[in-house]
Structure 1
């Protein structure tokens, strides 16, 4: 039973890879994808099928039904097919024919797109139920041509590869030849640099996994990390942290983490898709489920004036010399800003009233009620439902007593 699946397009690179694997005694199978975009694809499909027959190896082929799709969409569909074949037939490795010239193209594209992790193409990485392997990364295109000619191999040329409509083809046919004219060792030098950079980034991932275990608090479907701790990381370290957290939760948190960190506001929310969102609050960055409210922690107030950030609300507490407001000597200190609790009641001139009923009367949306800040004193008496209603509990002082104003 073969344990290696070789992706064969019918082009020179994959034909050479297949020939080498067979010559070296590997037990292989072939996977081929008909993209359904060119007339020549029918003949290429039959050609690869004949190769499988000639080598006496299993053949797995499919035709994609995508209309006017992007290159990335075709790539995703192609690799989804490879993954399905591996899972259904028990292949442990998928081999592709990427080579050294492809590494140079990829590095230049990464630089062009301002990618932070410029590492070219890795030789191995986890893929589906097994591993994706690229055995030809040390081989130049010219060496593959020489190998094919030496062994009298037959292959098919995709005419679209000669066009410069796509960035990769533009790099291949226009930019890299000019660079090589001035820099003959371009391919070898770039491949070496990419390999060294991959090793640096691998060490960063190992170190960040250890940092994450010490500084990030995980729950079943959430995480919390203190903003001051997060601020000590470099841009590269935060990038790695974002990648590791994205892998763990299956959503892309890196961009949201960067935006919330750069924001000068003390609170913020970033939708990361799926059932999750990132929240910046209470000096922490947290990933929470969309349907699950994240209630801010109670905030203690011991001195005035004071501004208290409570979730997305800012509570301003000021002192006046008399008139409107709460007499300070009628309050039991310290004060607290907290979220509503079941059974909360506020004192009014006509008696007490449930806070829940105040919300209903004020037509506060149900989903916002748990996040409305309440100002209470040390005895638990509610001084104000901030922004909605203030308490009328009896005064103990004359009109000249300093007063608390809540805004």
Structure 2
């Protein structure tokens, strides 16, 4: 492992001898290998920080394990307690995203408090390959994956293990006789990354045992290309007229932007009007669809309070708090419904359910909430308003949350929140339907 890390660290100028560094350590194999390498085989002066998310029962045991390890090796040890639930309520993000945001905030704060402008995390080469594969599956394969260096307000985070594989890490720990903790969540198939790690990665490594090296090379090349293309995209902004609450341009202006740069220019325009929104692929798709429409006038609701209005050859991208809500849509088997229009976030990225609906009440309808909406759950009938409040869904997100109902108006499913449990009644002719909702990609239905 050392033979791979040292030239990698030198090539990327990750650190200098005698630098102090904050090492983010969970107690797992990856972070323990990083910590031992930094402590035993470099002249760096690591301080250890453990992020306690209060999400797993074994976290207290990991704190005890790391505290004892740091005492044995005369290492400074910090524990940071994260309120993930509060972060989710504040941002509307899922558990994984909220936890990640808090980790980097705490690292940045600790770097300032300790006057240490360098931190290290234990992302490795297999993580890189998984990340690139996940981006490919989502249709966003361009650019880098996990960056070698990430800038924060008070310094930079480095990833020295991106040059090595998980197998290299385990062999290193066994040879060095270093213990580690096992994280039970790593074997859960709830998370997309875990499913890829357990089912896909072994097959790919059989085809290429050096997969982690190939992934890192792709990521680094992608980073170079992404930087260059972003610079070129920024040059295109001179074609647009910027006002405090709007961006104006013409069909000629837009068509003059090279097609290869349009998907990079669009987020720059959206970010100008709302820099806090999580702009993604589906927002770009709505923008492009509206910009390329053939009707004399058209309005596209981009999301996060932004609309694109076209009147003949003139465009206005503007803030609009009263943006149009998605129209009611019929759910057709095998056809994506509600792409780019409905927004919902859960603890995982995908929501799935299998329903048994009355054939006489088909087709299913996808819509947003209405006053008085109710759903019948195992504990009885519940108002959707109460359902959203109990789940702490921000008010502004509730109007775009998808609701699946039958054609009689009975609500069957609220993705990520509730599924109907019908009251006992006479037997009916039922159709089994498998529904999948992915925010930003829409709803699909399979009739079994």
Tell me if TM exceeds 0.5: yes
RMSD in angstroms over aligned alpha carbons?
3.0
- Contact persistence 1:86–1:129 (CA under 8 A): yes
Gaps in structure 1 of 5+ consecutive residues: 293-407
Provide the rounded CA distance (Å) in 2 between the counterparts of 1:238 and 1:70. Answer: 32
Partner of 1:22: 39
- In the alignment of these two chains, the number of paired residues is 290
Looking at structure 2, the residues matched to 78 and 21 of structure 1 have their Cα atoms a distance apart, in angstroms, of 21
Instruction: Give yes or no for contact 1:267–1:281 (8 Å, CA) kept in 2.
Output: yes
| TM-score, normalization by structure 2 | 0.57
Q: CA deviation at 1:55?
A: 4.1
Report which of the two structures shows the higher radius of gyration computed on alpha carbons: 1
Residues 193-215 of structure 1: CA distance to partner in whole angstroms, max 9, x if unpaired?
A: 33223322222112112222x32
C-alpha distance in 2, partners of 1:259/1:41? 47
The alpha carbon displacement at 1:79 in A equals 2.7
Q: Which one of the candidate residues 48, 52, 63 is aligned to 1:45?
A: 63
Contact 2:111 2:154 in 1 (8 A): yes
CA distance in structure 2 between the partners assigned to 1:158 and 1:237 by the alignment:
42
Distance, in Å, in 2 between the alignment partners of 1:146 and 1:270 is 53
- Tell whether 2:249 aligns with 1:225: yes
* Counterpart for residue 332 of structure 2: none
1:124 Cα deviation after fit: 1.6
For structure 2, the residue ranges without an aligned partner over 5 or more in a row are 1-17, 89-93, 323-448
C-alpha distance 10-203 of structure 1, shift in aligned 2 (>3 A): same
Describe the superposition over 1:261-311 as per-residue Cα deviations: whole angstroms up to 9, x where unpaired: 24334342535426x54443463444434489xxxxxxxxxxxxxxxxxxx
| Among candidates 151, 158, 174, match of residue 149 of structure 1 | 174
CA distance in 1, matches of 2:174, 2:186: 20
- Report what 1:356 is aligned to: none
Change (3 A) 1:235 1:161: farther
Equivalent residue of 1:137, what SS? helix
1:41-190 correspondence runs (5 A): 41-66=59-84, 70-117=95-142, 119-190=144-215
Q: Does the C-alpha gap of structure 1 residues 175 and 287 become closer, same or farther in structure 2, counting only changes over 3 Å? A: same
TM-score, normalising length: structure 1 = 0.62
In the TM superposition, 1:244-393 aligns within 5 A as: 244-249=268-273, 250=275, 251=277, 252=279, 254-265=284-295, 266-270=297-301, 272-273=303-304, 277-281=307-311, 283-290=313-320
CA distance, structure 1, for counterparts of residue 139 and residue 71 of structure 2 = 45
CA distance in 2, matches of 1:2, 1:245: 40
Mapped partners of 1:255, 1:244: distance in 2: 14
Q: State the SS of the aligned residue for 1:136.
A: helix
Q: 1:8 aligns with which of 25, 30, 51?
A: 25
Of 199, 203, 217 in structure 2, the residue corresponding to residue 192 of structure 1 is 217
Contact kept, 8 Å, 1:272 with 1:278, in 2: the verdict is no
